[in-house]
Structure 1
Amino acid sequence: MIGPSDRIQKLINEQYKSLDDAHTRLSEIWVNDILFSFGWITTLLLTVVPWIVWFIFRKKESSTRLMVGGLWAMLISSWLDYVGVTLGLWRYYNKLIPLIPDYIAWDFALMPVTIVFFLQIKPQVSPIIKGQHF
């Protein structure tokens, strides 16, 4: 007789097999249809260019403070994005690299760099007012 833990392990293994099969199919789609497409190149640029622009225009004496703010923006936005994608509320169709989250351009480049620029340009403005304009 199969005990409860054996049944649970079997169910979980079946789901992992299903996830592995889906990931294999998505990787094939990425190689054949997404890699080097216009959307892929755009995602690459949206991931790299904001950091280059920030590096050029940042206030060097405030770099540490700004990077901490950017890190918090990355953590919060990536967690919220993960929840949204997991719940099926939205999807991203131009994956930069198949092994990393789809939303890397938004959560690890655009969002933190935008917030860091807001912190740098108008440090005296209330965060609530900055949030309303964003």
Structure 2
Amino acid sequence: MKSIQEPEKIKKVGEYYDKIAEVHYEFLHYWLKNTLFHWDFWLSLIVFSILPWVVWIKYRKKDSTQRLLFVGFFAIIISCWMDFFGVMYGLWYYTGIVMPTMPTYIPWDMCIIPVFIMLLIQYKPNSSVLVKALVFAGVSTLIGEPLFLWLGFYVLKKWSIFYSFPIYFLIYLASHKISRLRNFAGI
């Protein structure tokens, strides 16, 4: 089928995607040799990917599982999206990743952040949202990010951890608001 898009544009965009694919293959080969089954892989997989979900399964409020998972998936989508832009624009990058996918660091975006948010939402559900947002942003910015910097898993290029604070704060506020939708049973 003939496209209505300009052929030159299709060709040029295809060239960019070919470059991206080539870099992904190079990265896959590097990852297979230098990360897969090394200490950083196991730490990322077991401690930062599996353990948070085990903790959540054990301590979640069982009758609020669907509501909390809905919030968790929202947090995953937002954190992956933000991470995608940060890596894509060269603000930071990751090492010690579980899967050779770019750009997100799966343990942070899909495990630690959503589990931390879900646990905070269910803990003392009637306490101050702003205090919880400050706790989430503070722990993520002042403990989480420095820990990952120290491990060498998170490398800053054109970013400061302090830029992350308001982003984490807003992610928590949005997650909390979604958790209060009336279509779910109460927490």
Output the TM-score relative to the length of structure 2. Answer: 0.64
Instruction: Provide the identity percentage.
Output: 34
Answer yes or no: is the 8 Å Cα contact 2:76–2:110 preserved in 1: yes
Quote the residue 2:27 is aligned against. Answer: 26
The alpha-carbon deviation at position 95 of structure 1 amounts to 2.2
Larger-gyration structure (1/2): 1
Cα contact 2:41–2:98 (8 A) shared by 1:
yes
Q: How does 1:34-53 map to 2 (within 5 A)?
A: 34-45=35-46, 46-53=48-55
In 2: Cα distance, 1:101 partner to 1:79 partner: 10
Which whole-Å CA distance do the structure 2 matches of 1:6 and 1:71 have between them? 38
- Secondary structure of the corresponding residue to residue 92 of structure 2: coil
Residue in structure 2 matched with residue 91 of structure 1 by the alignment:
93
- TM-fit CA distance, 1:65: 1.9
Q: For the Cα contact (< 8 Å) 1:96–1:102, is it kept in 2? A: no
For residues 81-133 of structure 1, give each alpha carbon's deviation from its aligned partner in whole angstroms, at most 9, with x where no partner exists: 11111111110112212246531111110001001110111211222211111
Q: 1:84 to 1:101 in 2, by over 3 A?
A: closer
Give the Cα separation in 2 of the matches to 1:55 and 1:12. 44
Aligned residue number for residue 16 of structure 1: 17
Point out where structure 2 has 5 or more consecutive residues left out of the alignment: 137-187
Q: Which has the higher helix share?
A: 1
Structure 1 gaps of 5+ residues are none
Mapped contact 2:93–2:103 kept (Cα < 8 A): no
Relative distance call for 1:50 and 1:10 in structure 2 (3 A) is same
Q: Which region of structure 1 is more displaced relative to structure 2, 45-54 or 9-18?
A: 9-18
Higher relative contact order (CA 8 A, sep 6+): 1
Matched, 1:60 2:62: yes
Q: Which amino acid aligns with 2:75?
A: A
CA drift of 1:60 comes to 0.9
- The partner residue of 1:79 within 57, 78, 81 is 81
Written as runs of structure 1 = structure 2, the 5 A alignment for 1:86-125 is: 86-99=88-101, 101-125=103-127
Contact 2:84 2:104 in 1 (8 A): no
Deviation digits for residues 30-85 of structure 1, max 9, x if unmatched?
Answer: 11101011111111021111101110111112212211221221121111111111
